[in-house]
Amino acid sequence: MGFLADKYYQKGAYMETTSVNKTGKEEFSNISDRIRAYRKVTRFLSFAPSMEEGIFEILDYMGRVLDVNRIYLFETDEGTDDLCSNTFEWCSEGTKSHKSIRQHCSYTRYRIREIMGTDHFLFCNDARTLEEPFRTHIMEQGIQSLMLYTFFNDGQLAGFLGIDDNLHVDPAWMQNDEMKDMVSFLADTISLFLIKERNLQRAKYNAEQNEEYLKLMNELTNAGTWYIYMNETGRHTNVHFSDSFRHLLGFADETEFPDTLTSWTNQVHPDDFDMVMRAIREGLVNNSKDYEIKYRMKRKLGNYEWFSVRGKRLTTVDGNPRMVFGTLVNVMERETEMADMNGRLNAMLGGVNGGMKISYNRSKYPYAYISESVAAIQGYTPEEMMEVSGGTAVGNGHPEDIAEIAEQMKRDFLNTGTYSAKYRVRHKDGRWIWIRDYGTLVKSPRGEEFVYSLIQNIDQEERLKTQLETERKAYKDALMNGSMMHYVVDLTEGLLCDEITYNGTVTLHADPSVIRRSSIDEQLAFAKSRGVVVLGAPSEDVFSRESILRCFEQGQTQLEFHAYDAMDDIYTKILVLIHKNDENGHVYATYIHTDETRQQKEQAESRRLLEEAVASAREASNAKSVFLRSMSHDIRTPMNAVMGFTSLALDNMDDKEKVKEYLNKIGGSAQHMLSLMNDILEMSRYEYGQVKLEESVVSLPELLKATCSMIETDAGQKQLHLEIEDSGLADSSVLCDSARLRQILLNCLTNAVKYTPEGGTIHVEASAWEEQEQGCVLCRFRIRDTGIGMSKEFLSHIFEPFTRETSSTVSGISGTGLGMSITRKMVELMGGTIRVTSESGKGTEFIIDIPMKPVPGQMLAEDPASYCKQNHILEGLNILLVEDNELNREIATELLQKKGALVTAVINGLEAVRLVQSTPAGSFDLILMDLQMPVMDGYEATACIRAMEDPARASVPIVALSANAFHEDLQKSADIGFNGHVPKPLNMDILTSVIRQVLKDNRNDG
C-alpha cells in the first residue's frame, strides 16, 4: 500500500486486521475489522509528506478494500463556476486512466447538480437506471455501477469524488451500510483536507499578493514603510526598512542603508532630533497607540527635506508593546500633489457649477460641512446658510419637493447606498432655483453615518428645459396648424385619446365615449381599405403601434413616413412625435399629416427627367462605341493605303510617273488621317470650352468664293454642278472669326460633295441684312444638294457627336461622325443657329444664320498664309531646330531649307541650351523646340534659356513643336515662355504663318 501501509506495519495495526492474498488485494476477517482498519488509516494522513500523497494513499486503500476499477477526484477550476478538472485518480490494474483527458469539463455537461439535487451522495447500483444523456455517457465507458460524493466550500460546489465499477451491477459493498459509512467518512476526510489545503494555498497566494499590493501602493503613493519589533521590556529587538523607504532618502538597497535603528537616527536633522525623540516617547510610552510628526531628514546627497512620519503601536494581550510600524512620506511632494489635486477638484467643480456638502444621516439631515461654492449657489456664505436653513439640509428646500426627496433618499440608501435627485431651494433674493444633489452614504470608523453630497446648480438648465418644452409645444402647434390632419394616440393602450382634426375641423370621434372605443389598429385597417400605402417601407408594419413603440424604446422621439392614398390620389407626409407621460408612464404619439402631393409629383417628374438623361447618356455612350468601331476602320483604311503605296513606290523607283502617283495618294491618305485626328481634337476642345473666337475684318463675298473654290476639284471629279448665288451679300465687310466661318461652310459643303451622287447639284446661296434692333448684320447661308438625304429617324441625331447614319464600311464614305457636331458648336459659339431639312433620296439643305458686326470702310484682314508665300518670310532666317527623332529632324530640316532658311539641328534640350549659351548673342533668329525629348525636354530647356542673364539670348523667339495640341498644352507652353505653338505633323503654311506672327510680335516688343 505504500507509505500508509508502512505506517501500519510499524504500528502493528494493519496486520492485525488484514491479510494479503496472492493477487495483492487486502482481505478482512469481517466488516467490523474493515471499518476499524480504514479509521486507523485516516489517523496517519498527517504523517504523509504532502496532502497529495496522503489523498492518493486513501484512494488506493479505498480501491483495494472496495475492489473497484477507478476512484477519482474532480475539483472546480479556480475562478470558474461551471468547469472542473480531474485532479486525483486511482485505477486498478488493467483499468485505463482518464485523468489526462478529463480536464476543464463542464458541470452542466456532467449534470452533477441536476443528478445530485440537494444530496451529497449518489449511490447507483445499476448505471442503466440513470437518465439520459448521463446514462449513455456512463455506459460508453463500460461502467456498471458508480458512487458520487459532492463537497462544498463556503456554500459553493467545490468538486466531487467518484467511484466507478466496470465489472459489477449491485456490488456487495453498496449493499452494506457500514461500507457506505466507511466511504462517507473517507470522502469527508478527503474533502476536508482538500478544501483546507486549497484555502491555505489561496491564503498564501493572497498574502503574497497583499505584499505585492503593499509594495505597489508604496510606489504609487511615494511612501516608505518601516517596522520595529520590541521585547517584553519595551526595548527594540530588530528593525526593517522597505526599499521604498530607502529610495525616498536616495539610497539604493540594504548595503547602503542597513536595517538598524542608527541608520535612521543618523539621518535626522540635529535641530529636530530632540523633538523627534520626545514625540516618540510621548506617543508610545504615554499609552498612545499612534503618532504623526514632521521633521527634516538628510538624503544621500546631503540635502535635507521635510518628511512626515506616522507610527502605530501593536501590543500584546497584557498591553505590552510588541511592534511599531509606520510610513514615511515626502511632505513636499505630497503637498505639491495635494495642491494639484485640489486645483483639479476646484476646476472640476467649477466646470459643473457646484460644490460639496456633508450631512448627518439623521432626521432633517443636519449639516456637518458646507463648502463656500454650495452656499454661493443660493447667494449665501456658509455661516449665513447655516443660520437661514436652521442648520439642516431640508431647512431651505421647497416644501413640495422635500417630502418626496426625503422618501426617495431613504429608498435609495436602503437599495444602493447612493441617490440622485433634483429639487428647488430658496435663493437669498427670494426666488426658487433648481439644484441636482448626488449623495453617497458613508459610515465613519465610530459607526456614525454621513451623507456626502455633490451639489450642482442646474437652474439655468431647468429653465432652458422649460423654455424648450414651451417652444416644442409651439412647434407642434405650428405643425398642426399647417397640417391637413392631426390626432393623438395612447400607444400604451393603443387607443385614440383626441379628436381627429381634418383641415382644422373635427370630423371624427368628437364624442369622448367613441374615442375610447377606437383603436389605432382600427384606423390602420380603415386606411388600408382605402388603398393607403406607406412609401419606401419594407412592409406596412413599420407604421403599426408595436413598431412605433420599439422605435421609442431605441431612443427615437420623432419619426417620419410618406404615404399614398390611391382613392384620392394624394401623397401625405406623416410626422410622428413621441413622448412619455411622467405621471402615468404611458407613451403618447402625435400624428401630423401634411399634404405633399405637389412635392411628390415634382420629384416624380425630376426622376423622369433624370432617367431620360441617363438614357440619353447611355445612347451617347453607345454612339461613342459605334464611333470607335468606325474610327478603327476609317483610320486603318488610309493607313493601309500609306503602307501599300509606299511598298509600290519602293518597287517602282525607276518609274517616276508611278512613284509620283503613289506619293500623291500617300499624301492624300495621310491628309485624311490628319483630318480624322483634327476632328477628334477639335471636338474635345469644344467639349471643354477651350475654343475662343479670334475676330478680324472679313469680306463675306471673298470668303465665300475662297471656301467654295476649296471643293471645286472634288466636285469636278464627281461631275457635280456647283451653283453660287451671293448677290444678297453685296460688298458686306464684317467683324468675325473668319477661320471658324470658313470651317462651318466647308463642313457643310464637304458633306454635300460626299453624299451627292455623280451628276448632282450643289446650290449655295448667301445673303445679309441689317438688324436694326440688335445693331448687327444677320448673315444667312443656305447649302442645298440633290444627294442621298437622311431618314427622319437619323435627322434628330445629326448634330450629336459620334453619330453617322451608315458607317463608311457600308456606305463607302469615310468620316468620324463629328463634323456636324463640331459645326453646330462653332455656329453656337458665334451666336448663330443651324437648321437642317432632309429626305431620303431627295437631298439635304442646311440653313445657317450668324449675326456679325458691320465694319464699313475698314481694311480687310490679311491672309497670313498667303502673305508668307508671297513674301518668302523664311528666306535667310537662322533657325535652331531641336528635335530628338531622326526622321522628324530630317524632314523639318529639308522643308525649312527649301524655304530658304539656314538650319542648325540638335537632338535634345541640353544641347540647345549649351549652343545658345556658347554662340554669340543673335546667332539664331528663331528656335523651333520639340517638347518631348530625353536628357532635357523642351519645357525645361526653354525655362533655362529664358533665365539667362544676357537679355539678347534670353529673349530669342521660341516656337513649340508638339503632337500635343490640347488647350492645356498650349497654355503650359505659353506659361513656360514659348512665343508660339505649332502642332505636328508639320504643315508648312501653318508653321510659316506662326513664324511670321512671332517675328512680327518680337519686333514690336523690341
| DSSP string across 909-977 | HHHHHHHHHHSPTTS-SEEEEESS-SSS-HHHHHHHHHT-SSHHHHT--EEEEES--SHHHHHHHHHHT
Is residue 462 within 8 Å of residue 434, measured between CB atoms? yes
Q: Measuring CA to CA, how many Å separate 663 from each of 599, 656, 658, 659?
A: 69, 10, 8, 6
pLDDT, position 52: 77
CB 404 within 8 A of CB 582: no
Tell me if residue 166 falls in helix, strand or coil. coil
Rounded to the nearest 10°, the torsion over CA 336, 342, 346, 349 is 140
pLDDT at res. 31: 53
740's CB contacts (< 8 A; 6+ apart) are 693, 826, 829, 830
Give the model's pLDDT for residue 551: 85
Closest CA to 837 of 790, 801, 793: 790
What letters, b where the CB count within 10 A reaches 16 and e where it falls short, cover 594-627? bbbeeebeeeeeeeeeeeeeeeeeeeeeebeeeb
Query: In 10 A of CB 923, how many CB atoms?
Result: 15
Per-residue pLDDT at 640 exceeds 80: no
> Which region among 261-275, 858-872, 988-1002 has the lowest average model confidence (pLDDT)?
858-872
User: CA 633, CA 635: separation in Å to the nearest integer?
Assistant: 6
Average pLDDT over residues 951-967: 82
CB contact set of 955 (below 8 Å; sequence gap of 6+):
1002
Q: What is the pLDDT of residues 99-157, one digit of tens each?
A: 888 888 877 777 776 777 667 778 888 888 887 777 887 887 888 888 888 888 777 78
The length of the chain, given as a count of residues: 1006
Higher per-residue confidence, 999 vs 288: 999
Q: What grid cell was written down for 577?
A: 412625435
Query: Which residues are bridge partners to 440 per DSSP?
Result: 418, 452
Q: Is the pLDDT of residue 13 over 90?
A: no
DSSP one-letter string for 10-39: HHTHHHHHEEE-TTS-EEESSHHHHHHHHH
Q: Say if residue 503's pLDDT is above 50.
A: yes
Q: How far is CA 131 from CA 110, 124, 758, in A?
A: 12, 12, 107
CA separation for the pair 310, 278 (Å, rounded): 14
Residue 858, helix vs strand vs coil: coil
- Of 943, 948, 950, the C-alpha closest to 975 is 943
* pLDDT computed for residue 685 by the predictor: 57
CB 454 within 8 A of CB 438: yes
pLDDT above 90 coverage of the chain, percent:
7
- pLDDT band of residue 251 (cuts 50, 70, 90) is very high
Q: For 205-214, 274-283, 810-819, which range has the lowest pLDDT when averaged over its residues? A: 810-819
pLDDT tens-digit readout, 216-231:
555 545 678 887 877 7
CB 1005, CB 999: distance < 8 Å: no
Reported as a single tens digit per residue, the pLDDT across 401-449 is 887 887 888 888 778 888 888 889 899 998 998 888 888 888 776 677 8
Cell readout for 158 is: 467545490
CB atoms within 10 A of CB 827: 19
Residue 514 above 50 pLDDT?
A: no
Residue 880's pLDDT band (boundaries 50, 70, 90)? Answer: very high
Question: Strands 721-728 and 761-771, how do they pair?
Answer: parallel
DSSP E strands, 316-457:
321-330, 354-360, 367-370, 418-426, 432-443, 449-457
Which residues on neighbouring strands pair with residue 432, listed in sequence order? 426
* pLDDT at residue 507 greater than cutoff 60: no
Q: Find out whether 406 and 419 touch, Cβ atoms under 8 Å.
A: no
Mean pLDDT, all residues of the chain:
76
In tens, the pLDDT along 643-664 reads 777 877 888 888 888 888 778 7
> Which pLDDT belongs to residue 18?
39
Kindly report the CA angle at 231 between 225 and 237, in degrees rounded to 5?
A: 55
Distance CA 736, CA 739 (A): 9
Residue 868 has pLDDT above 50, yes or no: no
What average pLDDT does range 15-25 have in this prediction?
38
pLDDT band at 628 (very low <50, low <70, confident <90, very high): low
Q: What pLDDT is stored for residue 679 in this prediction?
A: 60
Closest C-alpha among 582, 529, 576 to residue 557? 576
**Rounded average pLDDT over 787-795:** 82
Pick the closest to residue 23 from 67, 59, 58 (CA basis): 67
Question: For position 860, what pLDDT does the model report?
Answer: 41
Q: Per-residue pLDDT averaged across 166-191, rounded? A: 79
What is the helix (H) or strand (E) element at residue 129, kind and residue range? none
pLDDT band, residue 329 (cuts 50/70/90):
confident
pLDDT band at 796 (very low <50, low <70, confident <90, very high): confident
Q: What pLDDT, on the 0 to 100 scale, is given for residue 4? A: 34
Q: Does position 42 have pLDDT exceeding 60, yes or no?
A: no
Q: Which of 163-177, 194-208, 414-428, 941-955 has the lowest mean pLDDT?
A: 194-208
pLDDT tens track for 716-755: 888 888 888 888 786 667 888 877 788 788 888 888 888 8
Q: What is the pLDDT, as a whole number, of residue 882?
A: 93
Pair 542, 536: CB distance under 8 Å: no
Q: How far is the C-alpha of 434 from the C-alpha of 426, rounded, in Å? A: 9
**Rounded Cα–Cα distance for residues 226 and 310 (Å):** 10
Classify each residue of 965-991 as buried b or exposed e, where b means 16 or more C-beta atoms within 10 Å of its C-beta.
Answer: beeebbebbeebebbbbbbbebebeeb
- Can you give the pLDDT at residue 360? 83
**Average pLDDT for residues 871-876, to the nearest whole number?**
74
**Higher per-residue confidence, 522 vs 812:** 522
Predicted local distance difference test score (pLDDT) of residue 48: 61
**pLDDT tens figures, 918-955:** 999 889 999 999 988 899 999 999 999 999 999 889 99
Sign of the C-alpha dihedral, residues 675, 679, 684, 690? positive
Q: What is the pLDDT of residue 258?
A: 92
User: Which are the contacts of 216, defined by CB distance < 8 A and separation ≥ 6?
Assistant: none
Quote the CA–CA distance of 469 and 474 in Å, as a whole number.
Answer: 8
Q: Which stretch, 241-255, 320-334, 520-534, has highest mean pLDDT?
A: 241-255
Most confident of 134-143, 344-353, 793-802, 940-949: 940-949
Q: What's residue 661's pLDDT?
A: 79
